[in-house]
Amino acid sequence: MHIKDISISSFDRSVDGKLVQGDVVFLIAGEQGDQDQRLRLSCETPFSPRLRSDAALIGSAIAKLRRLPGVRSGAERLTFEPGMRPLASQRAMDSRTGTG
């Protein structure tokens, strides 16, 4: 499974401020000339002032991808576009906006 792009939609923080919620959308390369596909995963993760909320949501979504039967069994490998580092953004969030 080759990931070409990642985006987040419906990004929100829970009313009590303890959780970050959103839909992570993966653009997956089509196989053998097939059209690219989008996979949307709803994710929820604890809020941390030490991590960017978008990076935490993407990390949660990638963990879900790794639990898919084909990836978990090793029959399918999870790869990303060259230069894409989806888990590399670990800088502290901007306390004024809460979005980093």
Spatial contact of 6 and 57, defined as CB atoms under 8 Å apart:
no
Sign of torsion over alpha carbons 24, 81, 4, 36:
negative
2-79: what fold? N-terminal domain of TfIIb (2.20.25)
Predicted pLDDT at 87: 67
Domain coordinates of the chain in residue numbers? 2-79
Predicted pLDDT at 93: 39
Predicted pLDDT at 57: 92
The secondary structure of residue 19, as a DSSP letter, is E
pTM, entire model: 0.78
Spatial contact of 46 and 29, defined as CB atoms under 8 Å apart:
no
Q: What is the pLDDT along the chain (100 residues), one digit of tens a residue?
A: 999 999 998 889 989 989 999 999 999 998 877 899 999 999 999 998 888 888 899 999 999 999 999 889 989 998 999 887 776 544 443 333 333 3
